[in-house]
A = this chain, B = another copy of it.
Amino acid sequence: METARDLFVLEGYQHVTMRQVAKSLGYSHGSLYYHFKNKAELFYSLVVKDFGLLNETLDKILNEDKDADVENKLKRILLGYIEFGIRHPNHYRIMFLIQDDDLQNALQQEPNLTYEKLASALHTLCGSKVTPMIVWSLFLSLHGFVAHYCGHPEQTYEDVKGMAEAHVSFLMKGLH
């Protein structure tokens, strides 16, 4: 899985072949199918594991500085989501963007869980001031930012950080 991840992070789901992974390991490509049902399941298991980092990040922000400025925390939550997506474009693509039947079957409801995590964070921070509809809009707007820059992975998070902050500021204006 580590070998697969290295290739995957570098080249993306579509470009990495099972034969490549096997060759990097010094194994035959047939052996991979003894451990994983298919290509989708191999990379899916990677992505789910690594998405734990996003959950951790969101939790960390929520739990530190219990009485800190809510606005600031909210901003960091939203920016945290964007940063994770842009720093792991191939992971994000598998989770939310790639259209593939095997992948859809493997993913099941993992994307939903990620959304629920973000939604509950927003609810914790803002209480009932934000309706479910607004949370959904907020998520889709963050998603749009990440989805776009996932298609331009030559731009690092540092490159787009300013834009991300402006985007988040824009979105937060819709919360009042």
A interface residues with partner B (beta carbon < 8 Å): 12, 14, 93, 96-100, 133-134, 136-145, 147-148, 151, 163, 166-167, 170-171, 173-174, 176
Contact = CB atoms under 8 A, between A and B. Distances in A.
Nearest to A175: B173
A170 B99 contact: no
Given A93-B99, A99-B12, A174-B174, A148 B137 contact: no
Contact of A14 (B99, B167, B170): B99
B137 A170 contact: yes
Given A136-B163, A137-B167, A174-B173, A147 B99 contact: no
Most B-side CB within 10 Å, residue of A14, A133, A144, A148: A144
Q: How many copies does the complex hold?
A: 2
Nearest to A142: B144
Contacts of A99: 12, 14, 93, 97-98, 151
A100 B99 CA distance: 12
A71 to B, nearest CB: 15
Nearest to A171: B174
A143 B137 contact: no
10 contacts: A93-B99, A133-B166, A136-B163, A137-B166, A140-B167, A141-B141, A141-B144, A141-B145, A143-B148, A144-B144
Contact of A133 (B133, B136, B148, B163): B163
Nearest to A140: B144
